[in-house]
Amino acid sequence: MKVAVGTLALAMVSAVASGASVTPVQKVIELMEGMLQKGKTEKHNEEVQYAAYQQFCQDTSVEKQRTIKEAADSILQIQAEIQKNAADAKRLTKEVAGHDSDINTWTGDIQAAKKVRAQERVDFAKTHADYSESIDALERAIDVLKQQAHDRAQAASFVQVSALKRLKLLPDEARRTIDEFLQEDQPSGLDVAAPEAYGYEFQSQGVVDMLAKLLDKFVAERTTLEKEEANKKHAFAVLIQDLEAQIEEATKDSSDKTQIKAKKLEAGASAKSDLKQTADMKDADEAYLSDLTATCDKKATDFTSRQALRAEELEAVAKAIEIIKGQAVSGNAAKHLPSFLHRRGTSLAALRAEAQGRELLRAARFLQGRAGQLDSRVLAAAAERMAMDPFAKVKRMLKDLLIRLMEEANEEADHKGWCDAELSTNEQTRKEK
């Protein structure tokens, strides 16, 4: 751009100063046509550059919308995971409490069963002793009664039979029978100092039969008692074994569920951290997308405005060229300028001013009008300078126009650099994800 400006300015200065066969108007037309073509090229380049930036906006917007949607889906999934972990932890807490309650109940059952079993053993031992004592006494009494008719003293049989009355298990009916027997068999007129009377003829067969039946009954009941004791002992052992097994299983279940609960709580905490991180990333992406959308919209508006202004400026320059190329200017230049080449520079300058000033002034007025319509400072400055000095300052006007185009080109280069940086950052973000 700078080289072009220098070249154009140098060419114009040379044309004005040298007095060559090419007229100043023709040179101005040539320069303005170059500016027109340059403006068209830069307008096209801006369109190409903006198309790339617009594509960047579209691609980045689509990518950010995708990541935002994925983040929203992840947030829903993580929230569901958090709720499930919390529900599982609550359920496990309740189940562990239930296991602990069962363990306490079963432990109490074991203690109660042991207490009952201890009492059962005491009762069994006592009852078993009573049966054994009764059986032993009955056996002795029966043996004495069977032998009293032969070689036993009556007092001895009386003592053995009388001892049966002290038995706890002796039925009342048997007790009355024994009392009657003892009253009938006691010798009359017997005192303490008299010699022992030997047994008389055996007459107690009924008592012996009764005692024998009692003996069989007590033996059978003692056997039943022993069987019941064995059954109770076995049932107690089975009960204790079952309760201890349940306690062991409940203890294991409680321990396992406590560990699972801890993992659920840990997973829930981790999920909450992931939720915050995902939500932060989503917020950042949404903020970036919002800024990007605003920036892209502004760039689009600015681009549209610049393109419209460029188009109208180019149209104005083209119209100015058309005016300058009018028959009056071109014809006069072709007619008068070659015939006066031998004159001095002052005469030549006067001729130029007289022959071409009217059309250049017309072009300046046209540019001034278009500058007002377009609010273009460049066209206004060009028109003002053309009106003030159509020839001496036209090259300065052209230089200002070219400088302005060069500045816009620099701005476009900076804009392209920003687009390239954004594209590179977006590509790096995609690779990281």
Strand partners, 153: 198
Using alpha carbons, list the distances in angstroms from residue 210 to 168, 182, 219, 394: 17, 14, 14, 161
- Band (pLDDT 50/70/90 cuts) for residue 160 is low
Q: Which residue has the higher pLDDT, 196 or 45?
A: 45
Q: Is the pLDDT of residue 194 over 70?
A: no
Retrieve residue 333's tokens.
């230049």
Q: Which residue has the higher pLDDT, 354 or 234?
A: 234
Among the ranges given (21-35, 274-288, 332-346, 408-422), the one the predictor scored with the smallest mean pLDDT: 332-346
Residue 371 has a pLDDT of 61
Q: Which residue has the higher pLDDT, 61 or 392?
A: 61
Could you report the per-residue pLDDT of 70-120, keeping only the tens digit for each? 999 999 999 999 999 999 999 999 999 999 999 999 999 999 999 999 999
Q: Is the pLDDT of residue 257 over 60?
A: yes
Q: Which residue has the higher pLDDT, 29 or 270?
A: 270
Q: Which residue has the higher pLDDT, 151 or 256?
A: 256
Find all residues with CB under 8 Å of 110, minimum gap 6, and list them.
240, 243, 244, 247
Q: Is the pLDDT of residue 4 over 90?
A: no
Burial of 251 (0-12, 13-18, 19+ CB in 10 A): middle
Pairwise CA distance, residues 131 & 138, whole Å: 10
- Band (pLDDT 50/70/90 cuts) for residue 341 is very low
Q: pTM to 2 decimals? A: 0.53
Q: Is the pLDDT of residue 318 over 80?
A: yes
Residue 31 has a pLDDT of 79
Q: For residues 373 and 337, is the Cβ–Cβ distance under 8 A?
A: no
Q: Is the pLDDT of residue 3 over 50?
A: no
Give the H/E segment covering residue 348. Answer: helix 345-374
Q: Is the pLDDT of residue 10 over 50?
A: no
Q: Which residue has the higher pLDDT, 6 or 406?
A: 406
Could you report the per-residue pLDDT of 278-288, keeping only the tens digit for each? 999 999 999 99
Beta-carbon neighbour count of residue 164 at 10 Å?
21
Q: For residues 25 and 356, is the Cβ–Cβ distance under 8 A?
A: yes
Find all residues with CB under 8 Å of 366, minimum gap 6, and list them.
316, 319, 320, 323, 383
Retrieve residue 216's tokens.
């069989």
Pairwise CA distance, residues 121 & 102, whole Å: 28
Pairwise CA distance, residues 217 & 169, whole Å: 11
Question: What phi, psi does 287 have (nearest 5°)?
Answer: -65, -45
Strand partners, 198: 153
- Band (pLDDT 50/70/90 cuts) for residue 208 is confident
| Region for residue 305 given its phi and psi (left: phi exceeds 0; alpha: psi -120 to 50; beta: otherwise) | alpha
Q: Is the pLDDT of residue 342 over 50?
A: no
Q: For residues 124 and 278, is the Cβ–Cβ distance under 8 A?
A: no
Residue 347 has a pLDDT of 35
Q: Is the pLDDT of residue 217 over 50?
A: yes
CA 308 to the chain's CA centroid:
51
Residue 79 has a pLDDT of 95
194 three-state secondary structure:
coil
Q: Is the pLDDT of residue 354 over 70?
A: no
Retrieve residue 228's tokens.
């019941």
Find all residues with CB under 8 Å of 86, minimum gap 6, and list them.
264, 268
Give whichever of 127-141, 257-271, 380-394 has the largest mean pLDDT: 257-271
Residue 367 has a pLDDT of 60
Among the ranges given (111-125, 220-234, 372-386), the one the predictor scored with the smallest mean pLDDT: 372-386
Pairwise CA distance, residues 88 & 38, whole Å: 73
198 three-state secondary structure:
strand
